[in-house]
Structure 1
């Protein structure tokens, strides 16, 4: 567990030191946010790592919310996705068992299906309209 003094010490760090701490802890360049927001993000990272962190999906959702550029709706059981591509209609279903089905086959992800349809790498949620840009 992260101690309260460790978290409180973040308040005394300069912007440059906070960015260095982020680079060391996370391994990426610090996001372009205010020092106050970076302190909150560092505190969260420190606590998440101390308690084994969050699931990948939760981390991706939080990252997406922090950037504020897009929102992705999850593919839920019973969902039926329809996409027209080059004059052909493609229907993908998400079974109650969470298995994605298209063209009489089972797929691991919507991105795999989008790749099979287009022949190029696509974000499955973007291809099927589950990923939307947020209005400014």
Structure 2
């Protein structure tokens, strides 16, 4: 058994006080006031991230978007997630001008500035509130169809 595998196996039998100590060692902060099962899961997740890597920026953004929606509405249903790979370039023509947006790990880049959402960019372009995914043609609606260029 490798050292990381042994640490994961050890978590199963650790008493709560030892789990709290392991949390402090793993996260360099005091353990939150949660039960032993969640402490085990949090520590195991961090150990696995160290071994295999973390979630992609796009996945983290989607989780944050879903968290905010659940916080706001209490529901996580009827969501139509849009997944864009880092490096994808969105192109939209508006009032005779072409606009380019680059998908980044932590959001979007437009005209040299970072944005957390496409809706903010759509507002910067049009001066009005738009659904960013709809404005950039990522949600179906007849009448326009911007190009989506991928990084190949």
Q: TM-score range by the shorter chain?
A: 0.3 to 0.5
TM-score by length of structure 1 reads 0.46
Q: Which has the larger radius of gyration?
A: 2
